[in-house]
Amino acid sequence: MLQEVDTLYAAHVAELARRSDTALAATGFDRLVVYSGRPQYQFQDDRPYPFAVNPHFKQWVPITDAPDCCVEYTPGQRPRLLFHQPADYWHRPPQLPPGDWQRSIDVEILREPGDARALLDAGRGRTALVGEPPPEFADWGYAASNPPALLARLHYERAVKTPYELACMRLASSIGARGHVAARDAYFGGASEFEAHLAYCAATGLTEGELPYGNIVAYDESAAVLHYQHLDRARDRPRRSFLIDAGAHFRGYASDITRTWSTDQGEFAALVAAMDHVQQALCAGVRPGRDYRDLHLEAHLRIGRVLAEAGIVRCGADTAVAERITSVFFPHGIGHLLGLQVHDVAGLAGDPSGTEIPRPDGHPFLRLTRVLQPGWVVTVEPGLYFIDLLLDEARADGRGRQIDWTTVARLKPFGGIRIEDDVACTAGTPENLTRDAFAALA
């Protein structure tokens, strides 16, 4: 599989060069230097925070754990990687990942970060630096650091994934699906939230620092906390429901998957099944030319029907949407762009200059407002939650008159439901990377 991915890398680099040529010419720069980054140290300590590589850097090269490296690109020339590999006996120096990808890029090894200064000659022409530069870069001669107009163009184009990127994301989905199955089995086997998390990491082969985001492993009421960040160690507790939102990385590309499970068959299990049906209908709507805002509003209408059919609200779906009752139970956006970052950039960008497309009125948390195009990968993640804060607001502002509080009280101990897939928009039928990954495991 790695060999197959590597065969796509040369065309990927050629596409990055084309995009960079266009962006540099449009913004008046001659060259691009992309800096990988450097670990930041904790306050008054000699321990660094976990290193997170610059997403622009890992788009050029499949390297995620090497600080103080640079990719240099000049239009018409091969990209060059300046790879910092210090002589160090305290830590293992970074290693170049194996593979044929190195045939598409020139590589030079640096022993000290400062060695890059003479090699880059940043004062030659108008060189743009992309990344978080350390203080010593200040007098190296860069024309600009992170010029907004250049970044806007690079971010705008990043939504369309190359075949190489899609191959990486399929593998990230496969790794994530494997972890989800292991965590599910751990839950039904009596594991605590912490133990289910460990099962996920073991199955994916990823440490916590290598995950694209902190795993959300939530039992029962905790599933109503959208970004629940704790890992309860207790095993001897009620076990009604399990929500896990967890992804994986492959060569710096992310998957982002959520599943919800009910311990027993009954009212909540039926609600999970209804939401799964909604989610699959929305995934089928990931088509070129579709305004993602419309998909988000469709999600509210479909969730309104689920609320009405389950007896959670006393009104029809249209009224539930019009009176913002669905927002009590579904307060976040339907999804976002996915790729080098989990919440990938330029979700609101209307053009290469970065002009923003507004969110629909009353929907401040939607992360994507653009019209879908082939090559994009988006998440589709409808939710239905019983959140005390929002329920209390509905009681206070009059929306509560349309809510059946007896049914809410019965379902609130289950916390909530979220089901999330990663879906690639194509010229025809959407490619559901997540469902395909689970099917392959089955």
Chain segment 227-276, per-residue pLDDT in tens: 999 999 999 877 899 999 999 999 999 999 999 999 999 999 999 999 99
**At residue 350, what is the residue type?**
G
What residues does each domain of the chain span?
2-158, 163-441
Q: What is the pTM of this model?
A: 0.96
Beta carbons of 143 and 32 less than 8 angstroms apart: no
Q: One fold for both 2-158 and 163-441?
A: no
**Residue 69, pLDDT above cutoff 90:** yes
What is the signed CA dihedral for 119, 120, 122, 123, rounded to 10 degrees? 40
- Structure confidence at residue 158 (pLDDT): 97
What is the Cα–Cα distance from 279 to 258, expressed in whole angstroms?
Answer: 11
| 331-341 per-position pLDDT tens digit | 999 999 999 99
User: pLDDT for 346-400, tens place per residue?
Assistant: 999 999 999 999 999 999 999 999 999 999 999 999 999 999 999 999 999 999 9
| Share above pLDDT 90 across residues of the chain, in percent, rounded to a whole number | 94
CATH class of 2-158: alpha beta
Residues 244/191, Cβ–Cβ less than 8 Å: no
Q: State the Cα–Cα distance between residues 353 and 23, nearest whole angstrom.
A: 10
Q: Which CATH architecture does the domain made up of 163-441 adopt? A: Alpha-Beta Complex (3.90)
The mean per-residue pLDDT over the stretch 179-204 comes to 98
Tell me the HSE value of 263 on the side-chain side, using a 13 A CA sphere. 17
Q: Around 288, how many Cα atoms within 13 Å sit in the side-chain half-sphere?
A: 10
Contact criterion met (CB below 8 Å) for 97 and 103: no
Burial of 396 from C-beta contacts in 10 A (0-12 / 13-18 / 19+): exposed
